[in-house]
A and B are shown apart, each in its own frame.
Chain A
Amino acid sequence: MSRFRRQALICLLLGGLAGCANPDLEQQLSQAAESYTKVSSDTRIQRGAPKDVVRAGESLARAQRFAEFWGGAEDALHYSYLSLSYSEIARQHGTLLDNQQRIVQLQMERQRLRDMLRDARLLSAQQPGRWGDDQIISMAATETDRGLVMTLGDVLFRADSDELGREANRTLLKLAHFLELNPQRRVRIEGYTDSRGDADRNLALSKARAEAVAEVLTDLGIASQRIEIRGYGEAFPVAENASARGRAQNRRVEILFSDAQGELGPDR
């Protein structure tokens, strides 16, 4: 960079050098003062970043002193920039502190709901005449050349959406319970669509549906490391795409189970 160009850049970066008449100085000073007043009167921000608030005040005082004498404009601009930055940093840290507290609350709430859900599930499992989750899974899943596969039909999703319907939750609850009872098993969740519409969109939809299923499982306490996600779009149809019935069969999510050692077969 030539020396001249650098000087020009510096002039730009520092917001104009002393000597260039600076009508912005007054404005920046009052802006810095206003920001400082705001952050210093906010107890939440004071708590989140006490040092930065103090430094915002110190820098502002310096800027105001420099602004009072001739030739001090560059320094005044500099310190008012620092003051503004400190105020903004303090404000950000105040928000961050708020968010962190909110996160702790929400995590507790999530745990409470998970516990409630587990209790509710145990209760329903104890009801006589019902199949155990183990049996349900083995009934719903079929042994294929790729291993044990369970198919979630299209009806479990809202049409053309990755949102799960009410029926899906029951099925996935059972699946989660099965995985809890078999902690060494892993699953690969694969989404598929029919061949109508745009292929890229179908690919995205199939992936989103697989992800939606995985999210429910992780919500139910299954470690995400035990879950793999794939979207295959229109590939690997199980029926012809010519009829509505065939297309409905092709729109599906397949859940491939690992063997007892946690080994999943290769990707297709």
Chain B
Amino acid sequence: MKKLSCLLFGLALAVLGGCASDPAPLEQMRLTEKAVQQARAVGADEHTAELMLAELKLAAARAAMNDEDFRQARLLSEQAELDARLAEARVLNAKSASQIAELNRSIERLRQQLGDLR
């Protein structure tokens, strides 16, 4: 009986120290690194607030990995992945908006030239 309660106590401790049982989020870290690289590749930079946030969280996640605080590392890198993807989407949107503006200007000029010819 004493043995059993001892075992139960040990089990409870293991459960309470739940952090330690979190597996290392290696795949998530890889995904996040990729998302940040991808955002950089489409032109996100220091002026993209979401990218800065993503890199800050990724750095903190790496440090948490070093400390084997895997739960914290997972939370941070999951958020960082989405921050980076949002940064990427915003940059792409800004690019398409300026492409539309340029096309509109060009169409306006062509219309004017056509008018002048007549």
A interface residue numbers (CB < 8 A to B): 1, 3, 6, 9-10, 13-14, 74, 78, 81-82, 85-86, 88-89, 92-93, 95-96, 99-100, 102-103, 106-107, 109-110, 113-114, 116-117, 120-121, 124, 166, 169-170, 173, 215-216, 219-220
Contact = CB atoms under 8 A, between A and B. Distances in A.
Contact of B103 (A107, A170, A215, A216): A107
A110 B111 CA distance: 9
Contact of A85 (B79, B110, B117, B118): B79
B78 A78 contact: yes
Nearest to A49: B89
B110 A113 contact: yes
Given A93-B89, A96-B92, A113 B78 contact: no
Given A106-B100, A106-B103, A120-B114, A10 B76 contact: yes
A188 to B, nearest CB: 21
Nearest to B73: A10
Contact of A117 (B63, B99, B105, B114): B114
Contact of B117 (A14, A114, A173): A173
B75 interface: yes
Among B78, B110, B112, residue most surrounded by chain A Cβ atoms (within 10 Å): B110
Interface residues of B, number: 37
A117 B109 CA distance: 11
B75 A14 contact: yes
B24 interface: no
Interface string B34-66: 000000000000000000000011001001100
Given A10-B72, A109-B107, A169-B116, 4 more contacts: A78-B79, A85-B79, A117-B110, A170-B116
Contacts of B111: 113
Interface string B3-38: 000000000000000000000000000000000000
Contact of B76 (A14, A216, A219): A14
Mostly helix, strand, loop or mixed at chain A's interface? helix
Contact of A114 (B57, B110, B118): B110
6 contacts: A78-B78, A92-B86, A109-B107, A117-B113, A120-B118, A170-B117
A107 B114 CA distance: 17
Nearest to A85: B82
B107 A113 contact: yes
Nearest to A97: B96
Given A10-B72, A92-B86, A106-B107, A120 B117 contact: yes
B60 A9 contact: yes
Given A1-B63, A96-B93, A169-B116, A215 B106 contact: yes
Contacts of A106: 100, 103-104, 107
Contact of B83 (A74, A85, A96): A85
A95 B93 contact: yes
Contacts of B117: 117, 120-121, 124, 169-170, 173
Contacts of A216: 109, 113
A204 B63 CA distance: 48
A166 B116 CA distance: 6
A3 B67 contact: yes
B110 A219 contact: yes
A170 B117 CA distance: 7
A100 B96 contact: yes
B117 to A, nearest CB: 5
Contact of A99 (B78, B85, B93, B109): B93
